[in-house]
Chains A and B, each alone.
Chain A
Amino acid sequence: SQQGEEDPQALSIQEGENATMNCSYKTSINNLQWYRQNSGRGLVHLILIRSNEREKHSGRLRVTLDTSKKSSSLLITASRAADTASYFCATQGFGNEKLTFGTGTRLTIIP
């Protein structure tokens, strides 16, 4: 598999439910970031978790990182219709290296 693969590729849930997206990567990282992209728009930075962190929270977002398994998950609690978007994980190496993006999960929240 490639660096930064996400599953599922697409996820549809009812408003109010929780959404979980997963990301796997292959190489050593300095940090892992999650971005959101509304259709045809730019990428919005959501949260960054460093390689020495295991869990991080920001509002309704919860990110976990397991460096032994080279995987991360993004949990969005109490989903809203406005959360409908594509979500990408991106890994970053050391020394301000480039971001390597995953394939993304397209999340649809059904009102």
Chain B
Amino acid sequence: EPEVTQTPSHQVTQMGQEVILRCVPISNHLYFYWYRQILGQKVEFLVSFYNNEISEKSEIFDDQFSVERPDGSNFTLKIRSTKLEDSAMYFCARGDYGYTFGSGTRLTVV
């Protein structure tokens, strides 16, 4: 199957700015996910998206976060007002059992 493509690969942003991370799953899967990994720590679940709706979200996924699938192929994660602690690798994934992960976006908030 085609890969999951994420853009940008690295983004540096000022604290308080909005960022949009993009993912192209390029498939007809119904399930999509966002995970993040703070440097040196565990991979943490953020949100799952099923049939164009949020199906589950973690405590991390507060009002500053939102997800969309604007055009049926792209899948975006928006952070409205970034904080220093949002610095992490963000991964999108598709699948049901045995995910295909994207290569990630490294977000650095300064």
- Residues of A that sit less than 8 Å from B by CB: 4, 31, 33, 35, 40-45, 48, 88, 90, 92, 96-104
User: In the complex, what residues of B have CB within 8 A of residue A4's CB?
Assistant: 42
Secondary structure call for the A interface: strand
Complex-state Cα separation, A97 to B96, whole angstroms: 8
CB contact under 8 A between A92 and B97, given known A97-B56, A98-B33, A98-B48 = yes
Instruction: Report the minimum CB–CB distance from A32 to chain B (whole Å).
Output: 11
Instruction: Report the minimum CB–CB distance from B5 to chain A (whole Å).
Output: 10
Within 8 A of A (CB), among B46-86: 48, 50, 56, 58
Most buried by B among A4, A43, A100: A43
Q: What is the total number of residues of chain B having a CB less than 8 Å from a CB of chain A? A: 24
Instruction: Report the minimum CB–CB distance from A13 to chain B (whole Å).
Output: 22
Task: Tally inter-chain residue pairs, CB-CB below 8 A.
Answer: 54
CB of B42 within 8 A of CB of A103, answer yes
Complex-state Cα separation, A45 to B44, whole angstroms: 16
User: In the complex, what residues of A have CB within 8 A of residue B7's CB?
Assistant: none
Residue among B50, B97, B102 making CB contact with A31, cutoff 8 Å: B97
Complex-state Cα separation, A98 to B102, whole angstroms: 16
Chain B residue with Cβ nearest A31: B97
User: In the complex, what residues of B have CB within 8 A of residue A100's CB?
Assistant: 45
Complex-state Cα separation, A45 to B43, whole angstroms: 14
